[in-house]
Amino acid sequence: MVRTRTVGKKGQVTIPKEIRDRFGLKEGKKVIFEVKGDEIILRPEKAGKDYVEEFTSVIKKKLEAPNAVELKRLYYGQIEERLY
Protein backbone atom coordinates (compact mmCIF):
# COMPACT_ATOMS: atom_id res chain seq x y z
CA MET A 1 0.00 0.00 0.00
CA VAL A 2 1.47 3.34 -1.04
CA ARG A 3 -0.09 6.70 -0.25
CA THR A 4 1.17 10.22 -0.96
CA ARG A 5 0.70 13.14 1.41
CA THR A 6 1.98 16.72 1.50
CA VAL A 7 4.11 18.01 4.37
CA GLY A 8 2.51 21.06 5.99
CA LYS A 9 4.16 24.30 7.21
CA LYS A 10 5.01 22.83 10.61
CA GLY A 11 6.34 19.56 9.12
CA GLN A 12 3.13 17.70 9.84
CA VAL A 13 1.76 14.89 7.69
CA THR A 14 -1.68 13.32 8.02
CA ILE A 15 -1.63 9.53 8.10
CA PRO A 16 -4.41 8.15 5.86
CA LYS A 17 -7.44 6.81 7.76
CA GLU A 18 -7.15 3.24 6.44
CA ILE A 19 -3.55 3.08 7.70
CA ARG A 20 -4.46 4.59 11.10
CA ASP A 21 -7.29 2.06 11.45
CA ARG A 22 -5.14 -0.89 10.40
CA PHE A 23 -2.46 -0.11 12.99
CA GLY A 24 -4.74 1.22 15.72
CA LEU A 25 -3.28 4.72 15.60
CA LYS A 26 -5.55 6.94 17.65
CA GLU A 27 -4.96 10.43 18.99
CA GLY A 28 -2.19 10.36 21.59
CA LYS A 29 -0.70 7.05 20.37
CA LYS A 30 3.07 7.30 19.90
CA VAL A 31 4.86 6.36 16.70
CA ILE A 32 8.53 5.73 16.01
CA PHE A 33 10.42 7.31 13.11
CA GLU A 34 13.36 5.24 11.91
CA VAL A 35 15.81 6.27 9.20
CA LYS A 36 17.36 3.51 7.08
CA GLY A 37 19.52 4.79 4.28
CA ASP A 38 17.34 7.17 2.29
CA GLU A 39 14.04 5.88 3.71
CA ILE A 40 11.90 6.98 6.65
CA ILE A 41 10.07 4.16 8.42
CA LEU A 42 7.09 5.04 10.59
CA ARG A 43 5.74 2.39 12.96
CA PRO A 44 3.55 2.31 16.04
CA GLU A 45 5.34 2.23 19.37
CA LYS A 46 4.57 -0.94 21.27
CA ALA A 47 2.98 -0.44 24.65
CA GLY A 48 4.74 -1.85 27.70
CA LYS A 49 2.08 -4.57 27.87
CA ASP A 50 2.92 -5.66 24.30
CA TYR A 51 6.60 -6.06 25.23
CA VAL A 52 5.74 -8.07 28.34
CA GLU A 53 3.41 -10.39 26.40
CA GLU A 54 6.02 -10.89 23.67
CA PHE A 55 8.76 -11.60 26.23
CA THR A 56 6.69 -14.02 28.30
CA SER A 57 5.56 -15.93 25.22
CA VAL A 58 9.22 -16.49 24.27
CA ILE A 59 10.11 -17.58 27.80
CA LYS A 60 7.17 -19.99 28.01
CA LYS A 61 8.25 -21.68 24.79
CA LYS A 62 11.87 -22.05 25.88
CA LEU A 63 11.27 -23.02 29.51
CA GLU A 64 8.67 -25.75 29.19
CA ALA A 65 9.45 -28.33 31.87
CA PRO A 66 9.62 -32.00 30.95
CA ASN A 67 6.87 -34.22 32.30
CA ALA A 68 7.47 -37.09 34.77
CA VAL A 69 8.07 -39.70 32.06
CA GLU A 70 10.65 -37.52 30.31
CA LEU A 71 12.38 -36.83 33.64
CA LYS A 72 12.66 -40.56 34.37
CA ARG A 73 14.08 -41.19 30.90
CA LEU A 74 16.66 -38.45 31.37
CA TYR A 75 17.57 -39.66 34.86
CA TYR A 76 17.97 -43.32 33.94
CA GLY A 77 19.74 -42.37 30.73
CA GLN A 78 22.39 -40.51 32.73
CA ILE A 79 22.80 -43.45 35.12
CA GLU A 80 23.34 -45.83 32.19
CA GLU A 81 25.91 -43.48 30.67
CA ARG A 82 27.86 -43.40 33.94
CA LEU A 83 27.75 -47.17 34.40
CA TYR A 84 28.88 -48.09 30.90
Distances (CA, A) of 75 to 1, 44, 63: 56, 48, 19
43: three-class secondary structure by DSSP: strand
pLDDT of residue 41: 92
pLDDT bin (cut points 50, 70, 90) of residue 48 is low
Q: Which CATH class is domain 1-45?
A: mainly beta
Rg, the chain, Cα only: 25
Q: If we measure between CA atoms, which residue out of 16, 17, 19 comes closest to residue 6?
A: 16
The pLDDT of residue 51 is above 90: no
Q: Check: CB of residue 44 under 8 Å from CB of residue 33.
A: no
Q: Check: CB of residue 21 under 8 Å from CB of residue 3.
A: no
pTM of the model: 0.51
Q: E strands along 13-68, which residues? A: 31-36, 39-44
